[in-house]
């Protein structure tokens, strides 16, 4: 058995072994650095949980939160989190061990399956996840390595129609926007597959950069997939692309749950036949029945809303494909890849001319102040979003605002 610790003085074991301490060799005692235990502020975490919410214990797996309770143990009364597992088993976690519990975050709306307490099921689940993550990482490594050595499809230089489209932009481009457009088009004209991140705040013109890149690809008879996380954003992009490209022979379609089954089937058929030039869609674009005749550019908007496997889906299909990623808040992985040089990055920090700086006020809640702010925004035909942090009382807040 090996035990790690410190000795006050040395000792000898006949003629076999002699141990000496720092003090006996160097004349001083090595000071051990004491680390202060970080205080655990569990009140905010517990306040965000409601009875019935799903949580994960690091050692015992997925459980249902059953609330807080006080119990007497060894003569000391303590507060515990009640975790309910399958088959009615319960685990009482002291609040000073709350760092071992986290909120359950899963994909989809289906409730998770509760873990069985006292079995090896959770350990096997974690092991499967580790192996799956390792497989994905290895697959991504092979994919990125292949893209580094695979020659891309260089696009042609700007056509007259490209210049006509860009001159029809109704606003004045910001310097950052122009730099981003030039960088993207320069990447597209290279033999190396493009992998560029365009990072900029909302309203800074990222969509126009994507639109010009898409049109450039269309001019070389390539198809474009624009992947977005929500149907609302898909509808917005669809309207923008349709309006900007209406003077050109470009077919733009949208693929989402807003479309009927008949419309979806027609669009999927058009993509396979090559008659649809630009397809804007949600996760529906990633399904197996969607195939492109000649895909040349994939644009991912709000990339932080997609998983790694989703974002790399099209790269697996064609390693030489150009990829343009748009984000206002890139996730650390994406940002690290850009800073490390794995992918290129353009930043758009200059607001448009007509955009005023955002005003932020922080203070205590005041009904009068809230009312004045809402009325002021409504007078200028603006929109107001009132964010409330409790689902249970949101109807009451809405009623109070209405009154």
pLDDT digits (tens, 9 = 90+) for 370-401: 999 999 988 988 888 898 888 888 889 898 88
Split at pLDDT 50, 70, 90, the class of 349 is confident
Which token pair is 56? Answer: 């994960």
Q: How distant, in Å, are the alpha carbons of 132, 301, 308, 325 from that of 333?
A: 18, 16, 10, 13
Look at residues 242, 290, 233, 239 and name the one whose alpha carbon lies nearest to residue 264. Answer: 290
CATH of the domain at 284: 3.40.50.300
**333 vs 261: which has the higher pLDDT:** 261
Q: Is residue 84 part of a domain?
A: yes
Looking at 102, 119, 136, the residue that finishes a domain is: 119
> In sequence order, what are the beta bridge partners of 346?
198
pLDDT of residue 247: 94
25 shares its domain with 105:
yes
Highest mean pLDDT among 266-275, 294-303, 383-392: 266-275
Q: Is residue 16 part of a domain?
A: yes
112 shares its domain with 157:
no
Which percentage of the chain shows pLDDT scores above 70?
86
239 shares its domain with 169:
yes
Q: Please state, in angstroms and rounded to a whole number, the distance separating the CA atoms of residues 253 and 326.
A: 20
Split at pLDDT 50, 70, 90, the class of 85 is very high
3-state DSSP assignment of residue 180? helix
324 shares its domain with 222:
yes
pLDDT at 308 over 70: no
Domain of residue 371, residue span: 367-402
Q: Is residue 136 part of a domain?
A: no
64 shares its domain with 171:
no
Whether residue 193 contacts residue 164, with contact meaning beta carbons closer than 8 Å, is answered with no
pLDDT of residue 114: 93
pLDDT at 153 over 70: yes
Average pLDDT over residues 274-294: 92
pLDDT in tens, 107-128: 666 889 999 988 889 999 889 9
332 shares its domain with 381:
no
Q: Is residue 145 part of a domain?
A: no
CATH of the domain at 112: 2.40.10.170
168 shares its domain with 314:
yes
328 shares its domain with 386:
no
240 shares its domain with 378:
no
Q: Please state, in angstroms and rounded to a whole number, the distance separating the CA atoms of residues 46 and 41.
A: 10
Q: Is residue 57 part of a domain?
A: yes
Q: Please state, in angstroms and rounded to a whole number, the distance separating the CA atoms of residues 219 and 262.
A: 29
pLDDT of residue 267: 95
Q: Is residue 315 part of a domain?
A: yes
pLDDT of residue 108: 63
pLDDT in tens, 16-70: 788 888 777 776 555 555 545 555 555 667 777 888 999 999 999 999 999 999 9
pTM as predicted: 0.65
Q: Is residue 115 part of a domain?
A: yes
pLDDT of residue 159: 93
The domain tally of the chain equals 3
DSSP per residue over 197-240, as a string? EEEE-TTSSHHHHHHHHHHHHHTTT-EEEEE-SSHHHHHHHHHH
pLDDT of residue 28: 59
Q: Please tell me the total number of residues recorded for the chain in this structure.
A: 403
Q: Is residue 42 part of a domain?
A: yes
Average pLDDT over residues 313-337: 73
pLDDT of residue 390: 82
pLDDT in tens, 202-239: 888 999 999 999 999 999 999 999 999 889 899 999 99
218 shares its domain with 285:
yes
109 shares its domain with 217:
no
Highest mean pLDDT among 185-189, 303-307, 337-341: 185-189
111 shares its domain with 165:
no
DSSP per residue over 137-163, as a string? HHHHHHHHHHHHHS---PPPPP-HHHH
């Amino acid at each position: 058995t090996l035990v790690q610790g410190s000795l006050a003085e040395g000792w000898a074991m006949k003629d076999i072994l002699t141990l000496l301490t720092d003090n006996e060799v160097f004349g001083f005692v090595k000071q051990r650095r004491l680390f202060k235990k970080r205080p655990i502020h569990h009140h905010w975490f517990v306040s965000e949980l409601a009875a019935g919410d799903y949580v994960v214990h690091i050692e015992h797996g997925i459980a249902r939160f059953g609330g807080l309770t006080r119990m007497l143990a060894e003569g000391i009364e303590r507060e515990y989190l009640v975790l309910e597992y399958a088959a009615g088993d319960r685990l009482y976690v002291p609040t000073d061990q709350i760092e071992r519990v986290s909120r359950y975050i899963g994909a989809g709306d289906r409730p998770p399956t509760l873990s069985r307490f006292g079995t090896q099921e959770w350990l096997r689940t974690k092991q499967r996840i580790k192996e799956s993550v390792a497989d994905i990482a290895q697959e991504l490594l092979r994919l990125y390595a292949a893209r580094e050595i695979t020659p891309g499809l260089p696009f042609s230089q700007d056509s007259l129609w490209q210049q006509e489209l860009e001159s029809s932009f109704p606003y004045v481009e910001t310097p950052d926007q122009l730099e981003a457009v030039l960088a993207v088009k320069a990447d597209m004209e290279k033999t190396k597959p493009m992998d560029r991140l365009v990072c900029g705040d909302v309203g800074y013109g990222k969509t126009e950069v994507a639109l010009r890149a898409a049109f450039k690809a269309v001019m070389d008879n390539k198809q474009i997939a624009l992947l977005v996380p929500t149907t609302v954003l898909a509808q917005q992009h669809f309207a923008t692309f349709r309006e900007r490209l209406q003077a050109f022979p470009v077919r733009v379609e949208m693929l989402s749950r807003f479309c009927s089954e008949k419309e979806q089937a027609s669009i999927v058929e058009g993509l396979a036949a090559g008659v649809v030039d630009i397809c804007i869609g949600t996760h529906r674009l990633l399904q197996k029945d969607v195939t492109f005749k000649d895909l040349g550019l994939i644009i991912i908007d709000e990339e932080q809303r997609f998983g790694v496997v989703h974002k790399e889906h099209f790269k697996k299909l064609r390693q030489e494909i150009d990829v343009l990623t748009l984000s206002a808040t890139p996730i650390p992985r994406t940002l690290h890849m850009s800073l490390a040089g794995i992918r290129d990055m353009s930043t758009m920090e200059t607001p448009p001319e007509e955009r005023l700086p955002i005003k932020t006020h922080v203070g205590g809640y005041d009904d009068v102040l809230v009312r004045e702010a809402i009325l002021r925004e409504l007078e200028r035909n603006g929109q107001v979003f009132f964010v409330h942090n409790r689902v249970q009382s949101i109807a009451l807040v809405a009623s109070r605002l209405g009154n």
